[in-house]
A and B are shown apart, each in its own frame.
Chain A
């Protein structure tokens, strides 16, 4: 979960800003992951993240935006339980996220 946040932050910062999905989508995704890491996530956020990762892949102009969704997609596919722990239990199972502001 923290790795996905760090990676999405990388893409957000590196986005050139030309195309809509990458410019705004990476920022939205990063905001959502930030929220989860601070204990403010909701389960709907996970649906939004799922959709964003798909949009980044399909709609972006270049490889940067197209790749940006992958960490989220993989996170949700392979580490969903860990992410849900942040939301439903209010804990970070690996003890990395601050879980508060």
Chain B
């Protein structure tokens, strides 16, 4: 502790504090411009000069450490005058071209006014640089407003890890340039906008909304793209979202966001938005459903009552004629917990089926199943910030984190840059993160189990295992070892294509730099052996004792904004909310008592079964909320055929989608900007989504739509539902739904909108209203008691290249788009930057098939379909492998993928199919 006085006030400071930090702690504001608490201090602007008794001259508060007995003065006449001098100098080279700025954030203006200077009186009338000098579609560059504070330089390198900005020239000619004075995108800018968020003067601003002035209100909410769960402020003018700005208090991300979160919101106001309930003509005429979708007539706008009556009639008809299990309820990982809870309740209570599922089936069902069996809880164990601060090594396997969870990807880069964390990337592709890794293991697709078991084999051979952890906290070690013996390094090397020496090196890195945190995503889960892949990774971490401590654990990165929550809310075929199994009598009785009806104890059918089962007549009607199976499910041709054969489909969504072509009723729901509720991020943090604007047109709150359908179905009788504590569908708002969730879901027992709105950050399990939440899982004991070391067994992918289809195809997303693209394809700037699906192909294969400047398209064919798309020749993919995405309907890779399912989780093997490819 260091004692000092600031303006006569005695302060105790830590010895590693600066004067600025000590002042902040005493609530004393010192003016700053180049300083930002998230960035390393630089002492450039000279605004923070203070006088220290006995020191020679003034000192900068932002870079001077405190010392014992210091007597500091932060305001006096002389200091005011020197700050005025600095401000006048800066303004003398500041030129405002006159476009309508959002001055509220301009720190230069704020301080100028604070010290009695009118910024407009002192600024320069001459422009030194071109205004809007960079073609980046998101970022408006006007170096006439630059004060050379270098916050952008530090934000790009220290926060985003991208090193785009630098200072060129010297002295008065110094200026901020991208890369080697080139366009930002050429300097490898990822358009995250961090530099804009940290720029204090508006020299860098948000291009899409440059000219619209300050917001009327800002509403803090949670991003609706990925599972990182970034929070930010929606800026609203005239009931429209006009921009997104950082909110420094955001728990998962602070000021940082990615391109989609910061710039991907304009879809909310896209003219394609559904604003009226739509019904197929044949329904209004009371006819039977024509077999061919083309004969079902046009969409007709109707009243809500008409549309919902039709929906209720049709669902009741299917339920009462063919049984409750003929109806499927597909909920949405894009929607809130409250909405998901209601979909689960609708399927189970109102219809009487456990056919309640959602797209987690397609992404992390193998994680949920695998970790629940091995550890007792199917979720990420450690928060990202904990890993950033405490892990000494990180294994990223099957996750292209910097593109798919960009803010976490940036955190990984920061961990490497700031803490020298040893990063090992295991991925068939040379993903961007490889640049930061000490090692890139390039295993063949579909050989992860062999790889991980091989590493464990070496760990055991070397005696590196954590014996006491294994002894005290796990079971089944002997069986496990028997299996591991079948994976000696040489054999593993043969299966995976990874050199033996690299396997040994990888083990050394991970063992010598404990604790190790493991991350994965779809590269692990989307295989016919997805569940076993997950077992293998849980086993690895148990053998190394990397559980229940900071900086460790197994960390599946959940894809959608609320896929964690949709699973938590019971939108899975085998569990009620909180993973209470439908097959366990106590759980069944609990929900029967709560909902006042009898419930099925039969595990339902998954989305990957429900849709193909249409052909066999087992599925008759579907109620789909915000999902797009025609785009996202494997083997699209077959999926579309099945959807066509349904008796009835009601789709509740914000846009007409590829799937809506098969729907009979289309109900307009609302976007995240128009609703209040909660999302649960991949770290199990439950966070508020807050309504910023009113519903568009006649669109209605999604939870209300479900509730009205439920009431209408119940009113039609045919299923006994009695008065019970939670049998009703009368909710005043989504907060009341959360109260019901809390009452019935032990892990959400203490979660309420009130607590979240009061600023609490809560990770489940949070069993009661005074519980602070549980950021790290499995401390001292696994959720299931002992950790289960389950033998993971390598099996080849269901389809491997052969002489007819000699290439391997793997699939995924790109940073600029989201899933089936319904939102991001409606954001003009995202399309500008990535406007069509590209097939990644290695230079070697490109040469073989004869790609060149003129012939730059490829036709890719699998046993299920074909697509044509432009090729991107890149060494991101090795020879023999191509990579495609599913963001664009015309060249959707899912025409090619195979619906081969993991036998336990029923997740499809998107990550491996055999294809042939020709240049066209």
Q: Are A55 and B92 in contact (CB under 8 A)?
A: no
Q: Which residue of A lies closest to B78 (CB)?
A: A58
Interface: B16 (CB within 8 A): no
Q: Are B86 and A59 in contact (CB under 8 A)?
A: yes
Residues of A within 8 A of B173 (CB): 17
Residue interface mask B117-150, A partner, CB < 8 A = 1: 0000000000000000000000000000001100
Q: How far is the CB of B772 from chain A (nearest CB, A)?
A: 45
Q: How far is the CB of A53 from chain B (nearest CB, A)?
A: 12
> CA of A5 to CA of B648 in the docked complex: distance in angstroms?
87
> CA of A5 to CA of B133 in the docked complex: distance in angstroms?
35
Interface: A39 (CB within 8 A): no
Q: Are A17 and B170 in contact (CB under 8 A)?
A: yes
Within 8 Å by CB of B172, from A12, A51, A57, lies A12
> CA of A17 to CA of B147 in the docked complex: distance in angstroms?
11
Residues of B within 8 A of A26 (CB): 171-172
Q: Are B90 and A20 in contact (CB under 8 A)?
A: yes
Residue interface mask B727-769, A partner, CB < 8 A = 1: 0000000000000000000000000000000000000000000
Interface: B45 (CB within 8 A): yes
> CA of A61 to CA of B48 in the docked complex: distance in angstroms?
12
Q: Which residue of A lies closest to B170 (CB)?
A: A17
Asked whether A20 and B171 contact (CB < 8 A) given A59-B49, A59-B58, A61-B43, the answer is no
Q: How far is the CB of B145 from chain A (nearest CB, A)?
A: 15
Q: Which residue of A lies closest to B47 (CB)?
A: A20
The residue in B43, B44, B46, B148 that gathers the most chain A C-beta atoms within 10 A of its C-beta is B46
Residues of B within 8 A of A25 (CB): 89
Q: Are A20 and B170 in contact (CB under 8 A)?
A: no
Residues of A within 8 A of B148 (CB): 17-18, 20, 23
Measured as residues with beta carbon below 8 angstroms from the partner, the interface class of chain B is 20 to 34
Interface: A27 (CB within 8 A): yes
Interface: A69 (CB within 8 A): no
Interface: A16 (CB within 8 A): yes
Name the interface residues of A42-67: CB closer than 8 Å to any CB of B. Answer: 51, 55, 57-61
Residue interface mask B85-96, A partner, CB < 8 A = 1: 110011011000
Residues of A within 8 A of B49 (CB): 58-59
> CA of A26 to CA of B170 in the docked complex: distance in angstroms?
12
Interface: B238 (CB within 8 A): no
Q: How far is the CB of A13 from chain B (nearest CB, A)?
A: 6
Residues of A within 8 A of B58 (CB): 58-59
Q: Are B44 and A18 in contact (CB under 8 A)?
A: yes
Q: Are B170 and A28 in contact (CB under 8 A)?
A: no
Within 8 Å by CB of A16, from B60, B85, B89, B171, lies B171
Residues of B within 8 A of A17 (CB): 148, 167, 169-174
Residues of B within 8 A of A51 (CB): 85
Q: How far is the CB of A34 from chain B (nearest CB, A)?
A: 13
Q: Are B86 and A21 in contact (CB under 8 A)?
A: yes
Q: How far is the CB of A5 from chain B (nearest CB, A)?
A: 16
Interface: A7 (CB within 8 A): no
Name the interface residues of B388-427: CB closer than 8 Å to any CB of A. Answer: none
> CA of A60 to CA of B57 in the docked complex: distance in angstroms?
10
Residues of A within 8 A of B43 (CB): 19, 61
The residue in B86, B93, B172 that gathers the most chain A C-beta atoms within 10 A of its C-beta is B172
Interface: A99 (CB within 8 A): no
Asked whether A20 and B174 contact (CB < 8 A) given A55-B82, A58-B58, A59-B85, the answer is no
Residues of A within 8 A of B85 (CB): 21, 51, 55, 59
Interface: A74 (CB within 8 A): no
> CA of A24 to CA of B43 in the docked complex: distance in angstroms?
16
Within 8 Å by CB of A20, from B86, B167, B169, lies B86
Residues of A within 8 A of B90 (CB): 20, 24
Q: Are B82 and A59 in contact (CB under 8 A)?
A: yes
> CA of A28 to CA of B586 in the docked complex: distance in angstroms?
82
Q: Which residue of A lies closest to B82 (CB)?
A: A59
The residue in B60, B171, B174 that gathers the most chain A C-beta atoms within 10 A of its C-beta is B171
Q: Are B46 and A27 in contact (CB under 8 A)?
A: no
Name the interface residues of A1-22: CB closer than 8 Å to any CB of B. Answer: 12-21
- Number of A residues, CB within 8 Å of B: 23
The residue in A14, A18, A60 that gathers the most chain B C-beta atoms within 10 A of its C-beta is A18
Q: Are B45 and A27 in contact (CB under 8 A)?
A: no
Q: Which residue of A lies closest to B86 (CB)?
A: A20
Q: How far is the CB of A50 from chain B (nearest CB, A)?
A: 12
Q: How far is the CB of A82 from chain B (nearest CB, A)?
A: 27
Q: Which residue of A lies closest to B147 (CB)?
A: A20
> CA of A41 to CA of B49 in the docked complex: distance in angstroms?
32
Name the interface residues of B35-90: CB closer than 8 Å to any CB of A. Answer: 42-46, 49, 57-58, 60, 82, 85-86, 89-90
> CA of A57 to CA of B49 in the docked complex: distance in angstroms?
13
The residue in A13, A25, A59 that gathers the most chain B C-beta atoms within 10 A of its C-beta is A59
Q: Are A15 and B170 in contact (CB under 8 A)?
A: yes
Q: How far is the CB of B86 from chain A (nearest CB, A)?
A: 5
Residues of B within 8 A of A60 (CB): 46
Asked whether A15 and B82 contact (CB < 8 A) given A20-B45, A20-B89, the answer is no
Q: How far is the CB of A95 from chain B (nearest CB, A)?
A: 30
Q: Which residue of B lies closest to A65 (CB)?
A: B46
> CA of A26 to CA of B93 in the docked complex: distance in angstroms?
13
> CA of A100 to CA of B45 in the docked complex: distance in angstroms?
36
Residues of B within 8 A of A57 (CB): 57
> CA of A17 to CA of B85 in the docked complex: distance in angstroms?
17
Residues of A within 8 A of B92 (CB): 24, 28
Residues of A within 8 A of B86 (CB): 20-21, 59
Asked whether A24 and B57 contact (CB < 8 A) given A19-B44, A51-B85, the answer is no
Asked whether A23 and B45 contact (CB < 8 A) given A17-B167, A51-B85, A59-B82, the answer is no
Q: Are A61 and B170 in contact (CB under 8 A)?
A: no
The residue in A17, A25, A58, A60 that gathers the most chain B C-beta atoms within 10 A of its C-beta is A17
Q: Are A24 and B44 in contact (CB under 8 A)?
A: no
Q: Are A23 and B172 in contact (CB under 8 A)?
A: yes
Q: Are A15 and B172 in contact (CB under 8 A)?
A: yes
Q: Are A59 and B46 in contact (CB under 8 A)?
A: yes
Q: Are A23 and B46 in contact (CB under 8 A)?
A: no
Q: How far is the CB of B183 from chain A (nearest CB, A)?
A: 23
Q: Are B82 and A23 in contact (CB under 8 A)?
A: no
The residue in B44, B49, B60, B85 that gathers the most chain A C-beta atoms within 10 A of its C-beta is B85
Name the interface residues of B514-547: CB closer than 8 Å to any CB of A. Answer: none
Q: Are B46 and A19 in contact (CB under 8 A)?
A: yes
Asked whether A58 and B57 contact (CB < 8 A) given A15-B171, A20-B147, A24-B90, the answer is yes
> CA of A20 to CA of B172 in the docked complex: distance in angstroms?
9
Residues of B within 8 A of A23 (CB): 148, 171-172, 174
Residues of A within 8 A of B45 (CB): 19-20
> CA of A14 to CA of B173 in the docked complex: distance in angstroms?
11
Q: Are B89 and A21 in contact (CB under 8 A)?
A: yes
The residue in A12, A20, A24, A55 that gathers the most chain B C-beta atoms within 10 A of its C-beta is A20
> CA of A55 to CA of B81 in the docked complex: distance in angstroms?
10
Q: Which residue of A lies closest to B173 (CB)?
A: A17
Asked whether A28 and B89 contact (CB < 8 A) given A14-B171, A17-B171, A17-B174, the answer is yes
> CA of A16 to CA of B167 in the docked complex: distance in angstroms?
10
> CA of A17 to CA of B172 in the docked complex: distance in angstroms?
6
> CA of A5 to CA of B170 in the docked complex: distance in angstroms?
19
Name the interface residues of B149-207: CB closer than 8 Å to any CB of A. Answer: 167, 169-174
Q: List 28 A-B contacts (CB under 8 A).
A: A12-B172, A14-B171, A15-B170, A16-B171, A17-B169, A17-B171, A17-B172, A18-B44, A18-B148, A19-B43, A19-B45, A19-B46, A20-B89, A20-B147, A24-B89, A24-B92, A25-B89, A26-B171, A28-B89, A58-B49, A58-B58, A59-B49, A59-B58, A59-B82, A59-B85, A59-B86, A60-B46, A61-B43
Binding site for A on B (CB under 8 A): 42-46, 49, 57-58, 60, 82, 85-86, 89-90, 92-93, 147-148, 167, 169-174
Report, nearest first, the 8 A-B pairs whose CB atoms are least far apart: A17-B174, A15-B171, A27-B172, A24-B89, A59-B46, A55-B85, A17-B170, A17-B171
Give me 8 other A-B pairs in contact (C-beta within 8 A), A17-B167, A19-B46, A24-B93 excluded. A16-B170, A17-B171, A17-B173, A19-B43, A20-B45, A20-B86, A21-B46, A23-B174
